[in-house]
């Protein structure tokens, strides 16, 4: 506990999550412009983290097709960042947000405001 008053500065607060992320095991992702499927690292109803062999341009929107448990969803996401990930081979960890919230039973519900 500190003696200083709350400045109201958002940098004083921990980052908030609005959707629970789950591991990408069992998910397939196909991104427009990339010939091979890409690996899903984590995803939620609002965003995704992918591992790609190609860097995707930050701020750009890409169509994506996601498949899991026999259900396919086609949507669009925009790239927040795509840094190179040092894991022996040249790979990129791309983080993005979907332009629409995904409505799928196999993804956790949004986090209610009262529990944030």
How much is the pTM?
0.78
Domains identified in the chain and CATH numbers: 18-106 (2.40.10.220)
**Least confident interval from 16-20, 39-43, 65-69:** 16-20
Banded pLDDT at 54 (limits 50, 70, 90): confident
For the segment 57-114, what is each residue's pLDDT rounded down to a tens digit? 999 999 999 999 999 999 999 999 998 877 667 789 999 999 999 999 999 987 666 5
Q: Render the burial of 98-110: b for 16+ CB within 10 Å, e for the rest.
A: beebbeeeebeee
Banded pLDDT at 13 (limits 50, 70, 90): low
For residues 40 and 28, the answer to whether their CB atoms sit within 8 Å is: yes
As a whole number, the mean pLDDT across the chain is 84
For the segment 21-39, the average pLDDT, to the nearest whole number, is: 93
DSSP secondary structure of the chain: --SSPP---GGGSPPP-SB--EE-TT-EEEETT-SS-BEEEEE-SSEEEEEESSPPPTT-EEEEEEEETTEEEEEEEEEEE--EEEESEEEEEEEEEESS----TTSPPBPPGGG-
How far apart (Å, rounded) are the C-alpha atoms in residues 60 and 92? 16
The yes-or-no verdict on residue 37 having pLDDT over 90 is no
């Amino acid at each position: 506990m500190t003696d200083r008053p709350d400045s109201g500065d958002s940098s004083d607060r921990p980052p908030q999550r609005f959707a629970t992320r789950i591991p990408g095991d069992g998910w397939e992702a196909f991104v427009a412009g990339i010939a091979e499927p890409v690996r899903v690292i984590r995803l939620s109803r609002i965003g995704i983290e992918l591992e790609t062999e190609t860097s995707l341009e930050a701020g750009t929107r890409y169509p994506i097709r996601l498949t899991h448990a026999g259900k396919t969803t086609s949507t669009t996401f925009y790239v927040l960042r795509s840094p190179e990930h040092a894991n022996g081979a040249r790979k990129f960890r791309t983080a993005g947000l979907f332009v629409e919230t995904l409505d799928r039973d196999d993804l956790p519900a949004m986090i209610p405001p009262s529990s944030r």
